[in-house]
Amino acid sequence: MVTLHVNGAAQRFDGDASMPLLWYLRDVLGLTGTKYGCGMAQCGACTVHVDGEAMRACMTAVGDVAGKHVVTIEGLSEDGTHPVQVAWREVNVPQCGYCQSGQIMQAAALLRTTPRPTRAQIDEAMSGVLCRCGTYTRIREALGKLAAGGTR
């Protein structure tokens, strides 16, 4: 039995503790905002927060998060008013949108630890989340806006 907290709610899982967290979130809990991309923690589409740190859910076992707090894109803000979500809308970041939950979760983790990141810090933190549509310029613009104190 694995006990964890997902988006503020206590959860229990009686299944295989080696199941990837991504499948637990999507298939067991029905939280489909976290996306499957590569299955190798290389693209970042599956990024969630575990005890406040950005982690790739595709390579993290459910058992590895026992007793921890997991936040998915659904739990970042119930009404979409997290500053990163607001900035994403203001700058019109998404194109196809597939990677955007991972992008937003990675950006939120960056801003939690570094509220005023430099462009180099933004590029470094965001480099692990790939965008097939190439919206990197708009991602940098939205994060630059937040780093300058806008959209808060």
Instruction: Name residue 5's amino acid.
Output: H
Q: Residue 74: is its pLDDT beyond 70?
A: yes
Residue-wise pLDDT for 51-62, tens only, equals 999 999 999 999
Residue-wise pLDDT for 23-55, tens only, equals 999 999 999 999 999 999 999 999 999 999 999
Fold of 83-147: DNA polymerase; domain 1 (1.10.150)
User: Can you tell me the mean pLDDT for 117-123?
Assistant: 95
Map out the domains of the chain as residue ranges: 2-76, 83-147
The pLDDT of residue 152: 46
Instruction: Classify 2-76 by CATH class.
Output: alpha beta
Q: Residue 10: is its pLDDT beyond 70?
A: yes
